């Protein structure tokens, strides 16, 4: 019964969110049934659709994880977008500028570049927090804009594709591109693996426990002899590295180069997904698939039913609302207790 | 001796004043314009930061400022254009802001939801609703006009900077000062802050934590509505999807930069406004030809540097982010 | 308990969906690809068909052309640049006759799609077709000429000699750069003609996450220019530019110039200052190309659309007749190429 309840809640939340979405569509004179049919059939109804959904979900899983890990350690990482951009930029450079390597060396190097520069962006905020007490919410918001401007400069300056008018880097070499495996995006499996590893770390290892203790109560952690500074540095380093890897996978597997407009919004969706999953690494996966599927199928829905894809934002907000608000939980008598609080503000 | 003066709390003001004077003597028109424009750029950020301060001082994290700005400017614009009356639009925007505040209070105080989730819900909901229901073809009857205060506005430099603005700009500045006074020098402020720091003791002392939080978060929302109204009804005069363009998030950073103090956040916002105006001015006069992206980075880099150097642990209200559970006797 | 829940959920779902027998759009696309049918699909750049800018213009052209040819037209609004290809595929899967893609960012995706679907004709607005494909035409515009003409007008209208442009996006975007540099050179040309020494026309570019989408930034930047005595301001760039126009309209004696379409209609707030708009005639270009498809003369390659200055509308009385005549004469020369804009 307990298991039933734990999946019942999201199902009911989805149903209500979709029902309200349908009402909104009606208000606009569209046909919700047709819209939803096309939404689902294009997101999940064919192998091409599933492949697209999973491809869209991949960077979202990873950026969701990047937020989740920091949340667990008591940090609110709004900077995933910037870390992801840094990773995308660095991996694109490594992908086009390094020549003459075979795939099995070049691709890991390019992925490493992305991860490293993402982690670097993350640890700047971490170090400022740990050593100078500067709040991570400020630094990560500032770093988002900083990296964006830097990327704009590099893509239009030193890294610009020769002969191209637009701000973008050359295409990465085929030796640095992530191949597709039986039509399914390889990046997705990397993302799933990362989520499982993150879950395992927090569930089973002492390092995970240390991070979490710092997240729950800094004083208690201090008394227990856990270094708060180290935990902050580690979690921002890992969070940034994950975000950077997400950017690299997106660059090397989907976009093929760094082009500023192509990574917009991924980091912010990651925040929402992490919250939707209540900072549970495994719960990030279904959340990201839902987001990826709906975002990816927006075009089909508009094509088939003439409904503006803006409705998707609305439905996703309602899903988040009904999953997290204690309304349905009370109704189906699921006691969630302390679990309800994920973040605990940014007080300390 | 020198160190004493450098360390004085007035040194930032003296420094700012000397820099302005230096440039004013070089180019009076441009300097006046830069300082005046920095108010145009900075004020909406400052007002939005006040929303955060009012909430957080009573222990509620408000990450939904962006959503409040977006939805209240949307409502303000459409009500004003349909009714043909700016004041009606202003009223509607303020009410809409209050409603969004009320929603945040409901989610985070009554239902004790995670406050960052609550704010995020407001943000995405606002984006979805406003984009979905936006209709082209509405225009405002007019916008709030600039008021040149007679006499004062003729003073060189100070006139254009301080005394030639729209009514909502004056109102915004006035309310920021009121908020500062209220927060530190009135019983309401004391109660608010005690609820944000030690809700338990506040409760024991007879302050209703729930009522205080509801009241402040709702007023903060109304203030956010005023900010939205300022953006659409006074500054721009139109509305488009994504109108607030991230100002609600920058405001969060400025709130922390200003150490949860209204005057601090105002200073931080004006600093951002100045940086933006200077960035523009460098392009306008073309004296230096460094890539624009680097001048754009300036405010962000400076903010990080200033905070890193000044260090000193910035402390948020202690009870922030935690729903209040009355201790059962 | 569980049954009750499921029943309630079902009830909600049915209640919301039950009354949803809304009529689909009047025409249908089942005839696409047949001899009788003529279907036009349009994929927007990230943005909406009511963006008061290039997406809207392109859609207007596509819709008008399809209606004139008794065809069917439909659009998809792209949400994410990574969906360009899949959105094009949706139209291709229904055998649309023509697919219009809007914006220079979509050039790569359109070229690939043109190779993939040789039977479908592609029109790329603001794109340059570098491929030999005969089923893909890039619809380009000499934005520099449009900018030059309005700059020339501005050079005659300014009293302070201070003219400026507010660009809603970075200079790395080709149409933005060409508009702005054309404007700048047009002002200089007019100054030279009047034997006046104006300072070089100034420009502020926007670079950031909200390029083209920050009206408040546009308005504030306009305020900065106005307080420094700039009296002719060219606002080039989406909603950011529209915000600037609306702000300039509040200043007495200042002229503003719109971009892309005749913004007299799209940004009515700007009417008090809007003396003209630097237009590229996207609707006409799209219509011409769609009609070429219908008549079988569509040949691929690149098509240069027309540009010009929008009518003065109510501000005609503020433009001296002599200046009007001069602008008219210059417009002809610029369009014919006898006066070079000096923009590469």
Residue ranges with strand state E in chain B: 147-148, 164-165
Of A23, A26, A156, the CB nearest to C172: A156
CB pairs under 8 A between A and C: 112
Q: What is the pLDDT of residues C96-129, one digit of tens each?
A: 999 999 998 899 999 999 999 999 999 999 999 9
Separation in Å, CA of C301 to nearest CA in chain B: 35
Q: Which residues of chain B make contact with A24, given a CB cutoff of 8 A? A: 132
Q: Which residues of chain A make contact with B132, given a CB cutoff of 8 A? A: 24, 28, 308, 310-311, 313-314
Q: What is the pLDDT of residues A127-151, one digit of tens each?
A: 999 998 888 988 999 999 999 999 9
* Residue B113 to residue A317, Cβ atoms within 8 A: no
Of C154, A339, C260, the closest CA to residue B114 belongs to A339
Tell me whether A311 touches chain B (CB under 8 Å).
Answer: yes
Under-70 pLDDT residues of chain B = 1-10, 288, 311-314, 327-329
Nearest CA in chain A to B304: A139
Nearest CA in chain C to A9: C5
* Residue A33 to residue C16, Cβ atoms within 8 A: no
Q: What is the ipTM of this complex?
A: 0.91
Check: CB of residue A240 under 8 Å from CB of residue A123. yes
Q: Which residues of chain A make contact with C80, given a CB cutoff of 8 A? A: 264-265, 295
Q: What is the pLDDT of residues C131-190, one digit of tens each?
A: 889 999 999 999 999 999 999 999 999 999 999 999 998 888 889 999 999 999 999 999
Separation in Å, CA of A342 to nearest CA in chain B: 6
Cα C227 to chain centroid, rounded:
29
Cβ under 8 Å to C: B residues 187-246: 231, 235-246
Instruction: Specify the DSSP element, H or E, that contains C234.
Output: strand C232-236
* Residue C213 to residue B231, Cβ atoms within 8 A: no
Cβ under 8 Å to A: B residues 225-254: 249-250, 252-253
Cα C20 to chain centroid, rounded:
36
Q: What is the pLDDT of residues B59-103, one digit of tens each?
A: 999 999 999 999 999 999 999 999 999 999 999 999 999 999 999
What is d(CA C266, CA C59) in angstroms, rounded to the nearest whole number? Answer: 14
* Residue B252 to residue A308, Cβ atoms within 8 A: no
Nearest CA in chain C to B234: C247
Tell me whether A325 touches chain B (CB under 8 Å).
Answer: yes
**Percent of chain A scoring above 90 in pLDDT:** 61
Report residue C301: phi and psi, to 5°.
75, -140
Q: Among A335-339, B50-54, C222-226, which is the least confidently predicted range?
A: A335-339
Of C12, C81, C207, the CB nearest to A261: C81
Q: Which residues of chain A make contact with C20, given a CB cutoff of 8 A? A: 22, 25-26, 31-33
Distance between terminal CA atoms of chain A? 39
Of C208, A323, A205, C17, the closest CA to residue B299 belongs to C208
Q: Which residues contact A144 (CB under 8 A, 6 or more apart)?
A: A78, A79, A81, A82, A85, A267, C209
**Which CATH homologous superfamily contains domain C39-141+283-304?**
Response regulator (3.40.50.2300)
What is d(CA A15, CA A23) in angstroms, rounded to the nearest whole number? Answer: 12
Of B120, B311, B320, the CB nearest to A275: B120
In a domain? residue A244: yes
Of C162, C334, C174, the closest CA to residue C231 belongs to C162
* Residue A165 to residue C174, Cβ atoms within 8 A: yes
Query: Would you list the DSSP string of C24-68?
Result: --SS-STTTTSSS--EEEEEPSSS-TTSSSHHHHHHHHHHHHHHH
Q: Which residues contact A314 (CB under 8 A, 6 or more apart)?
A: A21, A24, B124, B125, B128, B129, B132
Cα A11 to chain centroid, rounded:
22
Nearest CA in chain C to B282: C204
Q: Which residues contact B131 (CB under 8 A, 6 or more apart)?
A: A308, A310, A313, B241, B242
Cα B104 to chain centroid, rounded:
18
CATH number at residue B19: 1.10.3470
Of C230, C223, C213, C280, the closest CA to residue C246 belongs to C223
Q: What is the pLDDT of residues C54-110, one digit of tens each?
A: 899 999 999 999 999 989 999 999 999 999 999 999 999 999 999 999 998 899 999
In a domain? residue A253: yes
Matching CATH number, C143-280+312-336, of 3.30.70.100, 3.40.50.970, 3.40.50.2300, 3.40.50.1000: 3.40.50.2300
CB pairs under 8 A between B and C: 107
Mean of per-residue pLDDT scores for chain C: 89
Write down the pTM of the prediction. Answer: 0.91
Cβ under 8 Å to A: C residues 49-78: 74-78
Residue ranges with strand state E in chain A: 180-181, 184-185
Tell me whether B152 touches chain A (CB under 8 Å).
Answer: no
Instruction: Specify the DSSP element, H or E, that contains A48.
Output: helix A47-72
Tell me whether C3 touches chain A (CB under 8 Å).
Answer: no
In a domain? residue B164: yes
What is d(CA B44, CA B70) in angstroms, rounded to the nearest whole number? Answer: 13
Number of domains in chain A: 1
| Number of C-beta neighbours around residue B16 at 10 A | 15
Cα C79 to Cα A252, A311, C105: the distances in Å are 21, 12, 13
Q: Which residues of chain C make contact with B240, given a CB cutoff of 8 A? A: 52, 213, 215, 239, 242
How high is the pLDDT of residue B14? 78
How high is the pLDDT of residue C19? 38
Number of domains in chain B: 1
In a domain? residue B5: no
In a domain? residue A76: yes
Nearest CA in chain C to A160: C172
How high is the pLDDT of residue A114? 97
Of C208, C227, C268, the CB nearest to B36: C227
What size, in residues, is chain C? Answer: 344
Q: Which domain holds residue A233?
A: 61-292
Cβ under 8 Å to A: B residues 88-147: 107, 111-117, 120-121, 124-125, 127-129, 131-132
Instruction: Specify the DSSP element, H or E, that contains C123.
Output: strand C121-125
* Residue A153 to residue B117, Cβ atoms within 8 A: no
Kindly give the residue spans of alpha helices, DSSP state H, lying in B84-166.
86-105, 115-133, 158-162
Instruction: Specify the DSSP element, H or E, that contains C165.
Output: strand C163-167
Separation in Å, CA of A44 to nearest CA in chain C: 15
Q: Write out the residue limits of the CATH 3.40.50.2300 domain(s) in chain C.
A: 39-141+283-304, 143-280+312-336
In a domain? residue B106: yes
Q: Answer left, alpha or beta for residue C60, where phi above 0 means left and psi between -120 and 50 means alpha.
A: alpha
**Residue C32 above 80 pLDDT?**
yes
What DSSP designation does A262 have?
A: G
Cβ under 8 Å to B: A residues 164-193: none
* Residue A303 to residue C22, Cβ atoms within 8 A: no
Positive or negative, the CA dihedral A103, A105, A111, A117 is negative
Tell me whether B283 touches chain C (CB under 8 Å).
Answer: yes
Q: Which domain holds residue B221?
A: 11-134+157-310
Q: Which residues of chain A make contact with C29, given a CB cutoff of 8 A? A: none
In a domain? residue B267: yes
**Residue A324 above 90 pLDDT?**
no
Q: Which residues of chain C make contact with B237, given a CB cutoff of 8 A? A: 219, 246-247, 249-250, 269
What is d(CA A39, CA A295) in angstroms, rounded to the nearest whole number? Answer: 9
Mean of the pLDDT values across residues C193-209? 90
* Residue A166 to residue C2, Cβ atoms within 8 A: no
* Residue B237 to residue C221, Cβ atoms within 8 A: no
pLDDT band at residue A210 using 50, 70 and 90 as cut-offs:
confident
Mean of per-residue pLDDT scores for chain B: 89
Of B116, B257, B312, the CB nearest to A138: B257
Q: Is A250 helix (H, G, I), strand (E, B) or coil?
A: helix
């Amino acid at each position: 019964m307990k298991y039933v309840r734990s999946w019942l809640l999201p199902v009911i939340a989805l149903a209500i969110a979709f029902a309200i979405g349908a009402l909104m569509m009606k208000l606009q004179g569209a046909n919700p049934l047709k819209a939803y049919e096309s939404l689902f059939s294009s997101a999940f109804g064919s192998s091409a659709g599933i492949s697209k959904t999973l491809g869209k979900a991949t960077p979202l899983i990873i950026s969701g994880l990047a937020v989740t890990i920091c949340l667990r350690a008591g940090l609110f990482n709004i900077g995933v977008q910037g870390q992801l951009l840094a990773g995308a930029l660095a991996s694109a450079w490594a992908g086009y500028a390094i020549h003459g390597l075979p795939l099995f060396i070049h691709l890991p190097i390019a992925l490493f570049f992305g991860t490293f520069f993402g982690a670097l962006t993350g640890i700047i905020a971490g170090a400022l927090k740990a050593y100078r007490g500067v709040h991570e919410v400020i630094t990560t918001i500032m770093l988002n804009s900083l990296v964006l401007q830097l990327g704009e400069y590099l893509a239009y300056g030193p890294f610009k594709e020769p002969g191209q008018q637009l701000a973008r880097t050359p295409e990465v070499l085929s030796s640095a591109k992530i191949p597709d495996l039986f039509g399914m995006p390889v990046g997705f499996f990397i993302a799933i693996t990362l989520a499982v590893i993150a879950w395992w770390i927090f569930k089973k290892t002492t390092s995970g426990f240390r991070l979490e203790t710092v997240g729950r109560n800094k004083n208690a952690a201090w008394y227990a002899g856990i270094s708060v500074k180290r935990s902050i540095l580690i979690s921002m380093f890992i969070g940034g590295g994950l975000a950077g890897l997400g950017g690299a996978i997106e660059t090397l597997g989907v976009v093929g180069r760094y082009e500023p407009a192509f990574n917009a919004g991924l980091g912010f969706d990651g925040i929402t997904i992490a919250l939707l999953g209540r900072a549970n690494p495994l719960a990030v996966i279904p959340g990201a698939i839902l987001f990826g599927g709906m975002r990816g199928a927006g075009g089909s829905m508009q094509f088939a039913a003439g409904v503006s894809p803006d409705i998707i934002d609305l439905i996703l907000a309602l899903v988040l609302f009904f999953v997290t608000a204690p309304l349905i939980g009370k109704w189906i008598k699921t006691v969630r207790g302390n679990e309800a609080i994920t973040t605990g503000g940014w007080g300390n | 001796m020198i160190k004493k003066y450098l360390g004085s709390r007035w040194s930032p003001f003296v420094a700012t004043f000397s820099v302005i004077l230096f440039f004013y003597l070089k180019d009076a028109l441009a300097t006046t314009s830069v300082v005046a424009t920095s108010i145009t750029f900075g004020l909406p950020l400052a007002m939005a930061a006040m929303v955060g301060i009012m909430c957080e001082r009573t222990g509620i994290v408000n990450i939904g400022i962006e959503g409040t700005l977006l939805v209240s400017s949307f409502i303000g614009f459409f009500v004003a254009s349909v009714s043909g009356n700016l004041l009606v639009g202003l009223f509607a925007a303020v009410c809409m802001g209050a409603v969004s505040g009320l929603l945040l209070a409901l989610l985070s105080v009554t239902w004790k939801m995670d406050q960052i989730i609550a704010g995020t819900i407001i943000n995405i909901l606002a984006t979805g609703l406003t984009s979905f229901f936006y209709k082209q073809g509405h225009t405002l009857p007019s916008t709030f006009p600039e008021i040149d205060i007679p006499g004062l506005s003729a003073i060189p430099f100070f006139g254009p900077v301080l005394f030639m603005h729209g009514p909502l700009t004056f109102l915004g500045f006035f309310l920021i000062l009121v908020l500062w006074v209220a927060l530190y020098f009135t019983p309401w402020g004391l109660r608010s802050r005690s609820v944000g720091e030690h809700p338990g003791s506040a409760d024991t002392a007879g302050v209703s934590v729930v009522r205080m939080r509801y009241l402040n978060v709702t007023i903060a929302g109304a203030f956010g509505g005023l900010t939205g109204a300022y953006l659409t009804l006074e500054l721009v005069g139109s509305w488009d999807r994504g109108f607030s363009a991230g100002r609600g998030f920058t405001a969060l950073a400025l709130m922390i930069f200003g150490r949860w103090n209204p005057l601090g956040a105002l200073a931080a916002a004006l600093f951002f406004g100045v940086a933006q105006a200077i960035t523009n001015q460098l392009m306008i006069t073309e004296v230096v030809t460094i890539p624009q992206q680097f001048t754009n980075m300036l405010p962000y880099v400076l903010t990080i540097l200033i905070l890193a150097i000044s260090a000193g642990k910035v402390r948020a209200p202690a009870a922030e982010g935690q729903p209040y559970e009355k201790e059962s006797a | 308990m569980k049954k009750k829940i499921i029943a309630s959920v079902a009830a909600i779902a049915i209640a919301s969906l039950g009354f949803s027998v809304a009529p689909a759009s009047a025409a249908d696309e089942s005839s696409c690809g047949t001899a009788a049918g003529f279907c036009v699909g349009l994929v927007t750049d990230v943005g909406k068909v009511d963006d008061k800018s290039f997406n809207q213009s392109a859609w207007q052209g596509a819709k008008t052309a399809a209606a004139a040819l008794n065809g069917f037209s439909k659009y998809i609004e792209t949400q994410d640049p990574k969906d360009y290809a899949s959105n094009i595929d949706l139209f291709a899967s229904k055998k649309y006759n023509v697919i219009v893609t809007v914006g220079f960012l979509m050039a790569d995706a359109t070229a690939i799609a043109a190779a993939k679907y040789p039977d479908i004709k592609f029109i790329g607005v603001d794109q340059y077709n570098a491929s030999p494909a005969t089923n893909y035409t890039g619809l380009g515009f000499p934005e520099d000429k449009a900018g030059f003409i309005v700059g020339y007008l501005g050079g005659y209208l300014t009293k302070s000699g201070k003219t400026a442009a507010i660009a809603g996006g970075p200079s790395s975007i080709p149409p933005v750069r060409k508009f702005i540099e054309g404007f700048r050179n047009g002002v200089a040309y007019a100054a030279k003609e009047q034997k006046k020494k104006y300072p070089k026309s100034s420009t502020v570019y926007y670079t950031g996450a909200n390029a083209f989408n920050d009206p408040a930034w546009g308005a504030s930047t306009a305020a900065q220019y106005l307080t420094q005595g700039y009296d002719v301001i060219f606002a080039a760039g989406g909603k950011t530019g529209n915000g600037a126009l609306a702000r300039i309209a509040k200043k007495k004696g200042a002229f503003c110039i719109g971009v892309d379409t005749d913004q007299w209609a799209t940004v009515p707030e700007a009417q008090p200052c809007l003396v003209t708009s630097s237009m590229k005639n996207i609707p006409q270009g799209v219509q011409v190309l769609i009609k070429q498809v219908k008549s079988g003369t569509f040949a691929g390659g690149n098509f240069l659309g027309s540009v010009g200055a929008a009518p003065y509308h109510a501000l005609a009385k503020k433009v001296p007749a002599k200046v009007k005549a001069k602008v008219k004469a210059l417009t002809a020369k610029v369009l014919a190429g006898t006066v070079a804009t000096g923009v590469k």
